[in-house]
Amino acid sequence: MKKKAFLLIAFMATILCACSKNDNDNSNDDDNTLHHLTKTTWISTESGKELTLTFDKNKYKADILYDENHDGLFDEIKHIAGTYILEYPNLTLNNGKNKIEGIVSNDKITLTVGIDPRYNEIISNYYKK
């Protein structure tokens, strides 16, 4: 009887130690891919403009600074905000007027415009700040 009780207690201890409320069925310690964007900032600098994307929970904010005459001073600033859906690696930004599709990797977001993915035009590549 003592042997059965000991085995039962040892089995229960093993099970309790192996489980955690922080376990995630989709996680893999060897997988370094980014499956969320919360509290991340991404930047893109192109000739004549600087773009910043900031994500928090299911919302994003985009700041676009334009230097149209290339004098080093920003002539126009646009602020855009909306919601996003990340179904890794696919990203959809929606500001209520426009939807923009993109692809996320560990250190890069590529946003594109177009309906057919074979003919999308790249808007911008963003890199993690």
117: left (phi over 0), alpha (psi -120 to 50) or beta: alpha
Q: Once rounded to an integer, what is the mean pLDDT over residues 24-44?
A: 64
Annotated domain spans of the chain: 37-128
Which of 88, 87, 85, 109 minimizes the C-alpha distance to 99? 85
Residue 84's nearest CA partner among 108, 58, 106 is: 58
Contacts of 126 (CB under 8 A, 6+ apart): 42, 43, 44, 51, 53, 108, 109, 110, 111
User: Scanning the structure block, which residue is given the tokens 């201890």?
Assistant: 13
Quick check: 111 pLDDT over 60? yes
**pLDDT at 54 (0 to 100):** 94
Residue 2 predicted with pLDDT over 50? yes
Instruction: Determine which of 51-55, 68-72, 97-101, 111-115 has the lowest per-residue pLDDT on average.
Output: 111-115
User: What counts of helices (H) and strands (E) characterise the chain?
Assistant: 1, 8
Among 8, 96, 15, 100, residue whose Cα is nearest residue 51:
100
Average pLDDT for 11-30: 44
Q: Which amino acid is at 7?
A: L
> Looking at the domain 37-128, which fold is it?
Lipocalin (2.40.128)
